Amino acid sequence: MDIEQLLSTITPEAFERLLYAVETGKWPEGTPLTPEQRDNAMQVVMLYQSRHNTDPQHMSVAAGGDITMKSKAQLKREFAPDQETIVQTKLNEE
Protein backbone atom coordinates (compact mmCIF):
# COMPACT_ATOMS: atom_id res chain seq x y z
CA MET A 1 0.00 0.00 0.00
CA ASP A 2 1.46 3.36 -0.93
CA ILE A 3 1.22 6.54 1.16
CA GLU A 4 -1.68 8.06 -0.78
CA GLN A 5 -3.75 4.88 -0.40
CA LEU A 6 -2.97 4.74 3.30
CA LEU A 7 -3.95 8.37 3.87
CA SER A 8 -7.18 8.01 1.91
CA THR A 9 -8.30 5.17 4.21
CA ILE A 10 -7.77 7.08 7.48
CA THR A 11 -10.97 8.53 8.89
CA PRO A 12 -10.93 11.52 11.25
CA GLU A 13 -11.86 9.13 14.08
CA ALA A 14 -8.91 6.86 13.28
CA PHE A 15 -6.64 9.90 13.16
CA GLU A 16 -7.82 10.97 16.63
CA ARG A 17 -7.04 7.48 17.98
CA LEU A 18 -3.56 7.59 16.43
CA LEU A 19 -2.96 11.10 17.76
CA TYR A 20 -4.02 10.05 21.27
CA ALA A 21 -1.71 7.04 21.07
CA VAL A 22 1.25 9.15 19.98
CA GLU A 23 0.61 11.79 22.67
CA THR A 24 0.09 9.37 25.57
CA GLY A 25 2.03 6.26 24.56
CA LYS A 26 -1.05 4.06 24.86
CA TRP A 27 -4.18 3.29 22.88
CA PRO A 28 -7.48 4.80 24.10
CA GLU A 29 -8.32 1.42 25.69
CA GLY A 30 -5.17 1.71 27.82
CA THR A 31 -2.90 -0.81 26.07
CA PRO A 32 0.66 0.55 25.82
CA LEU A 33 2.19 1.02 22.37
CA THR A 34 5.31 -0.85 21.42
CA PRO A 35 8.19 1.35 20.27
CA GLU A 36 7.53 0.22 16.68
CA GLN A 37 3.81 1.07 16.94
CA ARG A 38 4.65 4.50 18.36
CA ASP A 39 7.11 5.24 15.54
CA ASN A 40 4.65 4.11 12.87
CA ALA A 41 1.73 5.99 14.42
CA MET A 42 3.80 9.15 14.67
CA GLN A 43 4.72 8.94 10.98
CA VAL A 44 1.09 8.45 9.98
CA VAL A 45 -0.04 11.35 12.19
CA MET A 46 2.53 13.67 10.62
CA LEU A 47 1.61 12.56 7.09
CA TYR A 48 -2.11 12.98 7.78
CA GLN A 49 -1.53 16.45 9.23
CA SER A 50 0.55 17.42 6.21
CA ARG A 51 -2.49 16.78 4.01
CA HIS A 52 -5.41 17.86 6.21
CA ASN A 53 -4.28 20.24 8.98
CA THR A 54 -5.63 23.63 7.85
CA ASP A 55 -5.51 25.16 11.35
CA PRO A 56 -2.16 24.04 12.75
CA GLN A 57 -1.25 24.54 16.38
CA HIS A 58 2.23 25.46 17.61
CA MET A 59 4.82 22.83 16.72
CA SER A 60 2.50 20.76 14.53
CA VAL A 61 2.59 19.86 10.86
CA ALA A 62 0.45 22.10 8.66
CA ALA A 63 -1.19 21.21 5.37
CA GLY A 64 1.62 21.28 2.85
CA GLY A 65 4.08 19.66 5.24
CA ASP A 66 5.54 22.73 6.96
CA ILE A 67 6.03 22.64 10.72
CA THR A 68 4.16 25.52 12.34
CA MET A 69 6.10 27.45 14.93
CA LYS A 70 4.37 30.40 16.54
CA SER A 71 6.07 33.29 18.31
CA LYS A 72 5.50 34.01 21.96
CA ALA A 73 3.35 37.02 20.99
CA GLN A 74 1.20 34.90 18.69
CA LEU A 75 0.64 32.32 21.41
CA LYS A 76 -0.25 35.02 23.94
CA ARG A 77 -2.83 36.47 21.55
CA GLU A 78 -4.23 33.03 20.88
CA PHE A 79 -4.61 32.11 24.54
CA ALA A 80 -5.48 35.55 25.95
CA PRO A 81 -8.96 35.77 27.44
CA ASP A 82 -11.48 37.84 25.57
CA GLN A 83 -11.35 41.48 26.50
CA GLU A 84 -15.06 41.54 27.18
CA THR A 85 -15.78 42.37 30.85
CA ILE A 86 -18.43 40.15 32.39
CA VAL A 87 -18.47 41.40 35.98
CA GLN A 88 -16.56 44.22 37.65
CA THR A 89 -16.65 45.00 41.37
CA LYS A 90 -14.73 47.09 43.91
CA LEU A 91 -13.12 44.91 46.55
CA ASN A 92 -12.29 47.47 49.25
CA GLU A 93 -15.30 49.71 49.63
CA GLU A 94 -15.13 51.82 52.80
12-52 residue pLDDT tens? 899 899 999 998 999 999 999 999 999 999 998 888 887 76
**Average pLDDT over all residues of the chain:** 79
* For range 71-78, the mean pLDDT: 73
**Region 63-89 average pLDDT:** 68
Amino acid at 90: K
Rounded to whole angstroms, the Cα distance separating 10 from 40 reads 14
> Of 71, 73, 47, nearest to 61 (Cα)?
47
Does the reported pTM lie above 0.85? Answer: no
Burial class for 44, CB neighbours closer than 10 Å (0-12, 13-18, 19+): buried
